[in-house]
């Protein structure tokens, strides 16, 4: 293993970590809640489709919803119990809206369904591994929730040089990746081995920020235990800087290469996964366990006993907060995620989902919500931006709704890291504008597709009406012609009759 | 009877072919600018612009007969897009034609519907399903919210409801943007 020169990305911030608070105790298991609420969509892509009925008994690990379409994964019962309802329920989403969920009343027995472990993953094909990962409901546990099986496909056009394990965890307060690397390093290594095999990757880099010495030594120790893997895998210690955990930023640090705008890491031969995801892949293949729980950091100034908790999906966030004892009042908002990229949620009945990495109640430096001042064009935001964007331009165009301009300025490369907000002397909520502009643009695209369909339907209708009109006219013409013909025939008949009578008369006269 | 059916089928076939031939033979080259304008209009086909639908309005704009600020369903976004396309100054929505409203969706109270089919005849995008004397329903995905089915209904059983977003279609709120008026002023200043 040669120590390679590290690259870097522009901008970024040195932020106080506030991580000690939640790393004092080992990961604890959250008690099973009486009632679990499982949104059918906990991942990016199509929502899963329920395959159970209300009143049905389910076992731990039993599939309760199947994947629909390609970009989708299955959902399982996190423990044994009875399906109580399949209905809309408030979900942990910034909108505060409801979405279809499966409600389970747990029986406390935690009885497993029969598992199907594969001790030797090499007996499986790459495709079979992906299918199992999909069946196990695994999504990226870093926060975005993209179905992991898709990112285990080496593809035809590309080939994967490097599997990059993103152990940066750069955002303040969050420590769930740190804790899983400290305590379950061997399991993560197991998962990495399977991922390497499925991807046919040449090498693996495990990147960890230098503020996590415990994780670094635990991972090192686990890696040396696996002789074969340690030949192709190295642990790279990277400087602590926000937002190194951004996928494109981390790739820049590790390889010095830039992922092209609108491109994907795979375009330059890299696939990036979170350590928690690697652990889940190991459990799914070698132990036959689907994804039923995750590690959630509960922390913040209002939390008395902060820490990390292995929590079943569907567990009410309120129970987690109560378990840790908080000063928080019922229904007071809290942050889902970290202080930089998270969003406010309120509602005591919200469940933990596959993407809930951190519950934050109370932050140290409270940004005093002041009236934003006009932009003075100081350019600080552009200096801080890790994606080399021009936030002040993006702000101007988002604000005046010139969305095509925002796209010209690469709005969709913005990772919503909040660095620009943080440094802006005018306290302009820049990211709010960018989030607004992004969803607005996506909505316009949806509307455009819809209006294209409406135009087509309208044109079809006009064409049909025209056709009906022509047909009707034609029928009328036909009828008229037929009428005329029959009239003519009648006349003719009358005439011939008349003729014959006159003829007859003539004959008579002749006689 | 059989001959009648045969005759009609034959007729339909002949005219279908004839129409098809005519449409190929006498194809009017679509006016590209009308196409482009029409693409930016919301296709609600509501007629609030005082034209018979989006395409006629697009034709009127292209002919220089109509201003670009007459489409309430499209609102500001459409005006900005049209201004951009035609390289003219944007201007606020003409008050004469109405105001920009949130998107709506027609819902038929199926208990009260008498199955008269009048709404089907009114719907410009064939978004209503139902046979005579049977209750009708609106295909939510296809309804453009044009409100044209409301007036014809003799028992008043169609309501316009606001479309509710789900977490995927939800949009982040606008933190505070400048209105078109302010923007025009700011640019002139
Ligand atoms: S940091 Fe704030 S004030 Fe300075 S240029 Fe950026 S948006 Fe304007
Ligand atoms: S939020 Fe977007 S624009 Fe602001 S610094 Fe981060 S990437 Fe750049
Ligand atoms: S007002 Fe707008 S949506 Fe309605 S018909 Fe006219 S152009 Fe189409
Ligand atoms: S159902 Fe009514 S409101 Fe909807 S598109 Fe048809 S006529 Fe318009």
Closest-CA residue of chain B to A404 = B81
Using the Cβ of B174 and the Cβ atoms of chain A, whether some distance falls under 8 Å is answered with: yes
pLDDT at A503: 54
Q: In the structure, which protein residues have their CB atom closer than 6 angstroms to any atom of ligand 2?
A: A 384-387, 389, 391, 414-420, 430-431, 434
Question: Whose alpha carbon is nearest atom 4 of ligand 2?
Answer: A420
pLDDT at A159: 85
Minimal Cβ distance to B124: which of A436, A438, A461: A461
Look at residues A357, A351, A360 and name the one whose alpha carbon lies nearest to residue A316: A351
What is the CA angle B107-B108-B112, rounded to 5? Answer: 150
B181 vs A contacts (CB less than 8 Å): none
Domains and CATH numbers, chain A: 116-288 (3.40.50.11540), 380-436 (no CATH), 441-510 (no CATH)
Between the alpha carbon of residue A228 and those of residues A119, A224, A273, the distances in Å are 17, 9, 21
- Which residues of A sit within 8 Å Cβ distance of B? 41, 91, 93-95, 97, 99, 398-402, 404, 429, 432-433, 435-436, 438-440, 443-444, 446-447, 451-455, 457-458, 460-461, 467, 470-471, 474-475, 478
pLDDT at B41: 93
Q: ipTM, 2 decimals?
A: 0.79
Residue B158 CB–ligand 3 contact under 6 Å: no
A471 vs B contacts (CB less than 8 Å): 11-12, 15
**Cα–Cα dist B156/B153, whole Å:** 5
pLDDT at B8: 66
Q: How far is the CA of B107 from the centre of ligand 3 (A)?
A: 21
Please indicate whether, in this complex, the C-beta atoms of B175 and A467 are within 8 angstroms of each other: no
Beta strands per DSSP E along A377-451: none
pLDDT for B150 beyond 90: yes
Structure tokens at B95: 């008050």
* Cβ–Cβ under 8 Å, residues A121 and A129: yes
pLDDT for B132 beyond 90: no
pLDDT at A2: 45
Using pLDDT thresholds of 50, 70 and 90, give the confidence band for residue B111: confident
Structure tokens at B92: 């606020």
Q: Which site among A400, A421, A453, A466 would you substitute to test the B interface, given the most B Cβ atoms closer than 10 Å to its Cβ? A: A400
- The dotted CATH code for B33-97 is 1.10.15.40
CA distance A429 to chain B (A): 8
pLDDT at A511: 43
**Cis peptide, bond prior to residue A155, ω within 30 of zero:** no
Q: How would DSSP label each residue in A138-157?
A: -B-TTTT--BGGGGG---SS
Between the alpha carbon of residue A37 and those of residues A41, A49, A83, A353, B74, the distances in Å are 12, 15, 10, 9, 39
Provide the mean pLDDT of chain A: 91
Minimal Cβ distance to B43: which of A404, A458, A471: A458
The terminus-to-terminus CA distance of chain A in angstroms comes to 136
Structure tokens at A440: 């607005």
Between the alpha carbon of residue B70 and those of residues A169, B32, B42, B58, B76, the distances in Å are 52, 21, 12, 11, 10
CA distance B114 to chain A (A): 24
B44-86: pLDDT as tens digits? 999 999 999 999 999 999 999 999 999 999 888 899 889 989 9
* Cβ–Cβ under 8 Å, residues A258 and A248: yes
Residue B148 CB–ligand 4 contact under 6 Å: yes
CA atoms within 13 A on the CB side of A496: 5
Q: How far is the CA of B144 from the centre of ligand 4 (A)?
A: 6
Q: Which site among B26, B38, B43, B82 would you substitute to test the A interface, given the most A Cβ atoms closer than 10 Å to its Cβ? A: B43
CATH topology of domain B102-166: Alpha-Beta Plaits (3.30.70)
**Cα–Cα dist A52/A262, whole Å:** 39
Closest-CA residue of chain B to A100 = B166
Please indicate whether, in this complex, the C-beta atoms of B15 and A471 are within 8 angstroms of each other: yes
Q: Which atom of ligand 3 is nearest to the CA of B97?
A: 1
Largest CA distance in chain A: 140
| Portions of chain B given CATH number 1.10.15.40 | 33-97
Stated as kind and residue range, the H or E segment containing A75 is: strand A75-76
pLDDT at B101: 82
Of B39 and B136, the one with more pLDDT = B39
| Portions of chain B given CATH number 3.30.70.20 | 102-166
Q: How far is the CA of B127 from the centre of ligand 3 (A)?
A: 17
Q: Which residues have C-beta within 8 Å of that of residue A352, sequence separation ≥ 6?
A: A92, A294, A296, A311, A312, A313, A314, A315, A316, A317, A320
Using pLDDT thresholds of 50, 70 and 90, give the confidence band for residue B174: confident
B44 vs A contacts (CB less than 8 Å): 454
CA distance B143 to chain A (A): 8
Structure tokens at A357: 């990495």
Residue A380 CB–ligand 1 contact under 6 Å: yes
What DSSP state is assigned to residue A428?
Answer: -
B77 vs A contacts (CB less than 8 Å): 401, 444
* Cβ–Cβ under 8 Å, residues A248 and A265: yes
Question: Whose alpha carbon is nearest atom 7 of ligand 3?
Answer: B54
Chains A, B: CB contacts within 8 A come to: 92
Q: Which ligand is nearest to the CA of A413?
A: 2
* Cβ–Cβ under 8 Å, residues A61 and A320: no
Look at residues A206, A235, A75, A79 and name the one whose alpha carbon lies nearest to residue A139: A75
Structure tokens at A211: 């503020």
* Cβ–Cβ under 8 Å, residues A265 and A251: yes
Q: Output the pTM of the full model.
A: 0.83
CA distance B184 to chain A (A): 10
Closest-CA residue of chain B to A448 = B42
Please indicate whether, in this complex, the C-beta atoms of A457 and B178 are within 8 angstroms of each other: no
* Cβ–Cβ under 8 Å, residues B105 and B163: yes
Please indicate whether, in this complex, the C-beta atoms of A461 and B173 are within 8 angstroms of each other: no
Using pLDDT thresholds of 50, 70 and 90, give the confidence band for residue B6: low
Question: Whose alpha carbon is nearest atom 3 of ligand 3?
Answer: B44
pLDDT at A368: 55
Beta strands per DSSP E along A77-148: 81-90, 98-106
Closest-CA residue of chain A to B45 = A458
A394, A417, A418, A421: residue to mutate for ligand 2 pocket, most atoms within 8 A of CB:
A417
Q: Which residues of chain A have pLDDT under 70?
A: 1-4, 156, 365-370, 496-511
B163 phi and psi angles, rounded to 5 deg: -75, 130
């Amino acid at each position: 293993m040669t120590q390679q020169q590290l690259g870097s990305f522009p901008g970024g911030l040195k932020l106080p970590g506030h991580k000690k608070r939640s790393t004092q105790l080992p990961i604890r298991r959250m008690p099973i809640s009486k009632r679990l609420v499982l949104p059918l969509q906990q991942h990016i892509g199509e929502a899963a489709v329920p395959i159970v009925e209300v009143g049905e008994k389910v076992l731990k690990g039993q599939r309760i919803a199947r994947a629909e379409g390609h970009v989708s994964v299955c959902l399982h019962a996190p423990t044994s119990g009875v399906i109580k309802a399949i209905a809309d329920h408030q979900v942990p989403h910034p909108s505060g809206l409801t979405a279809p969920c499966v409600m389970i009343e747990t029986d406390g027995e935690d009885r497993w369904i029969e598992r199907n472990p594969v001790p030797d993953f090499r007996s499986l094909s790459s495709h079979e591994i992906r299918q199992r990962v999909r069946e196990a409901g695994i999504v990226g546990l870093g926060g975005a929730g993209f179905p992991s099986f898709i990112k285990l496909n080496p593809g035809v056009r590309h080939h994967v040089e490097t599997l990059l394990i993103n152990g940066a965890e750069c955002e303040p307060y969050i420590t769930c990746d740190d804790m899983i690397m400290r305590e379950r390093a061997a399991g993560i290594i197991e998962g990495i081995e399977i991922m390497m095999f499925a991807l046919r990757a040449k090498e693996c880099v495990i990147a960890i920020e230098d503020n996590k010495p415990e994780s670094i030594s635990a991972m090192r120790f686990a890696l040396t235990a696996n002789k074969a893997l340690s030949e192709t895998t190295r642990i790279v210690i990277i400087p602590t800087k926000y937002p190194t955990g951004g996928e494109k930023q981390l790739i820049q640090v590790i390889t010095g290469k830039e992922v092209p705008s609108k491109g994907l890491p795979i375009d330059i031969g890299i696939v990036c996964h979170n350590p928690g995801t690697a652990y889940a892949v190991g459990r799914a293949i070698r132990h036959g366990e689907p994804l039923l729980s995750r590690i959630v950091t509960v922390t913040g100034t209002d939390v008395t006993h902060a820490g990390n908790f292995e929590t079943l999906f569907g567990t009410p966030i309120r129970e987690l907060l109560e378990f840790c004892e908080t000063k928080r009042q019922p229904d007071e908002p809290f942050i889902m995620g970290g202080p930089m990229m998270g969003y406010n949620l309120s509602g005591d009945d919200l469940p933990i989902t596959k993407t809930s990495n951190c519950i934050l109640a109370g932050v140290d430096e409270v940004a005093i919500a002041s009236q934003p001042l006009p932009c003075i064009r100081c350019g600080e935001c552009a200096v801080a931006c890790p994606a080399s964007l021009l936030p002040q331009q993006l702000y101007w165009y988002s604000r005046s709704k010139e969305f095509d301009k925002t796209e010209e300025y690469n709005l969709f490369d913005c990772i919503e890291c909040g660095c620009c907000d943080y440094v802006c002397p005018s306290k302009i909520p820049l990211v709010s504008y960018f989030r607004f502009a992004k969803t607005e643009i996506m909505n316009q695209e949806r509307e455009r597709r819809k209006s294209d369909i409406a135009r087509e339907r309208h044109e079809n209708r006009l064409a049909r009406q025209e056709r009906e009109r022509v047909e009707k006219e034609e029928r009328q013409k036909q009828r008229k012609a037929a009428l005329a013909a029959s009239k003519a025939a009648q006349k003719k008949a009358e005439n011939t009759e008349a003729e014959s009578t006159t003829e007859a008369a003539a004959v008579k006269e002749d006689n | 009877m059989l001959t009648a059916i045969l005759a009609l089928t034959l007729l339909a076939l002949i005219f279908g072919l004839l129409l098809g031939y005519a449409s190929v033979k006498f194809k009017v080259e679509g006016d590209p600018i009308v196409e482009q304008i029409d693409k930016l209009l919301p296709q609600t086909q509501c007629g609030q612009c005082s034209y018979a639908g989006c395409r006629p309005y697009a034709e009127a704009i292209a002919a220089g007969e109509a201003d670009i600020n007459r489409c309430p369903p499209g609102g500001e976004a459409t005006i900005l897009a049209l201004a951009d396309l035609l390289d003219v100054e944007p201007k606020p929505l003409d008050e004469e034609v109405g105001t920009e409203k949130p998107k709506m969706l027609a819902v038929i109270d199926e208990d009260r519907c008498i199955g008269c089919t009048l709404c089907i005849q009114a719907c410009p995008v064939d978004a209503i399903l139902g046979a005579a004397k049977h209750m009708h329903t609106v295909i939510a995905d296809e309804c453009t919210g044009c409100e044209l089915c409301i007036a014809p209904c003799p028992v008043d059983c169609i309501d316009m409801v606001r479309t509710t977003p789900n977490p995927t279609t939800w949009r982040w709120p606008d933190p505070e943007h400048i209105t078109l008026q302010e923007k025009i002023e700011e640019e002139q200043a």
